[in-house]
Every structure is written in structure tokens, then in C-alpha cells.
Amino acid sequence: MDKLKTNWFTESCDMWPGGTFSFEVKEVLHTEKSKYQNIQVFDTTSLGKVLVLDGIIQCTQKDEFSYQEMISFLPLCCHKNPENVLIVGGGDGGVAREVAKHPQVKHIVLVEIDDRVIELSKRYLPFMAVGFDSPKLTLHVGDGFEFMKNHRQEFDVIITDSSDPVGPAVNLFQENYFSLMKSALKPDGIVCSQAGTIWNDIELVTNTLNFCKNQFPAAAYCYTSVPTYPSGQIGFVIGSLTKDIKFNEPQLTFTRDEEEAMNLRYYNSEVHRAAFALPTFVKYKLA
């Protein structure tokens, strides 16, 4: 929490050495150390409200919709009928907000380990925490591992909205986690997990995708643009128990009127297809 100097916050991390990202702070809205992590909330001059965990930017009001929409609608629209959805993490409520929009989703369970992230998001980030207001949502404060151990073959889609692999999120990037998700899925289920960026740690991307491939008959990497994330990009690993699935072909597409009604600002069927088109060096590295 010593990265705030002269009204500027600077994000730096060993996962992306040699570079930093800074933003100007209008007001420090909250600072505390919870049971699990350091939590900071800022009001900024150019990004709106910003949530920072353990010194790493989690979301900004300016561009959070890109991440939330893509980690949600990519797996949901790959599934033929995603009625029951589990979200692991996502304590800011943003992913729940997006999942609740999908017309086929009937029930959402969100499991977040840090109740302070939930409470502070409700207080300072209502544009995301509105996701907690959905009648589709059941909220559990606790460990996602333990929750899935007790819920076998229940979910159509499992979305893991984790921070980077430091602190409490480290275990969400291991193969045993993908195995556990597999056991909690229905026979045609799909998983989607935050998986890092190709520009800063392609080995992390490769390892995470391989863990997914080892557990699922079909797996792929896709990505979206988020300017305030390291390198301006973040990726997802997606896996399916259906071997012949075509991830780049959405099962459900939306009209322009439907996109507007759902307030989709980033996701559409063309962006869905493009998310799986990888640069040449990545395509062959992940093959």
C-alpha cells in the first residue's frame, strides 16, 4: 500500500517486470487489509472508481465492462442451454451482473472467499455490485474449492473470475482446480477461467491451457482488450466436456435491439468469433 505518491498510484509487479502503470488519484475512498488481501478503492481523474487488490488493479469504471462481458458471454454463448451457472470469485459483482443478463440463465451461484470485497464493492462500486441484486443469484461467502467438493455435476457453466496468481488466487491456476471444476459440471458443461496475457507471461498461459486440456476433451485460449490491465489485454482458458464443440461459433446470437436491451457495450457475435483468432506466435506456442 506504499505505491501511492503525490496523488498518483503506480501498479508494479514481479509478474510483469520492467514496466508500471500509473493513474492520478482524486480521492482515496478506502484502504484496509482484510483477512486475505490488501484492498484499496480510489476515485480517479480519468478512470472513475478503481478497485485494487494487493497492489494490482482489478477493475476500473472506464473499461471493466470489456472483461466482465467477455468472461461471461463467451462461455455462456458456447453452451446450448446454460441454465445453472457457478461463479468462483467475482466479489465485485461485475460478472454476476453480466451472467444475469443472459436470457437462458435461470440460477447463478457466486462463491467469494473475501466478504470485505463484496461489502466494499456494494458501497463504492455500485455499477458492478448491482449484480448482487439479481433474483437469479445465490451468494455464498467461502472457499470455491470446498464448495465444489460438495456440489457434483450441478452446473452447466463455471466461470472463475480470479485475480492474478498471487495470494489467495494461486490455487485457481493449478490442474487440480480444473479437475475439481470438471467434477462439478453437468455432462455437457463448460468452464472459463482468467488466464493471463500472452505479452507478459506466455508460459503462464501455456501451462494454464495445458492443465485445462488435460482435464477436458476440448479447450482453447481467447482474449479481450482491457486498457488498464498489463499490456492492455487479458485472456481466458475455456474448456468443454463436449469434444466436438466449436468455441468460435456462438450457439446463441443477439440482435442489435437485444444487445441494447442488455446494455452490452463490448460483446457481440463478431467479437466472440474474433476472440479465438490468435496471433501466429501464440497459435503455434499453444498448439
Q: Which sequence spans correspond to the domains of the chain?
A: 2-60, 64-286
pLDDT average, residue stretch 67-76: 98
Joined together, the cell numbers standing for residue 8 give 498518483
Joined together, the cell numbers standing for residue 52 give 485494487
The reported pLDDT for the residue numbered 175 is 84
Q: How far apart are the first and last CA of the chain?
A: 40
Sequence-distant (6+) residues with CB within 8 A of 259 are: 268
The reported pLDDT for the residue numbered 152 is 94
The reported pLDDT for the residue numbered 162 is 79
Q: Which of 198, 246, 196 lies closest to 219, judged by CA?
A: 246
pLDDT average, residue stretch 202-218: 95
Q: Is the pLDDT of residue 49 over 60?
A: yes
Fold matches, 2-60 and 64-286: no
Q: What is the pLDDT of residues 105-124, one digit of tens each?
A: 999 999 999 999 999 999 99
CA distance 24 to 33: 22
| Top-tier CATH class for 2-60 | mainly beta
Query: What is this structure's pTM?
Result: 0.95
* Residues labelled catalytic: 161
Q: Which of 226, 236, 266, 244 lies closest to 160, judged by CA?
A: 236
Q: Is the pLDDT of residue 141 over 60?
A: yes
**Superfamily assignment of 64-286 in CATH?**
Vaccinia Virus protein VP39 (3.40.50.150)
CA distance 57 to 63: 12
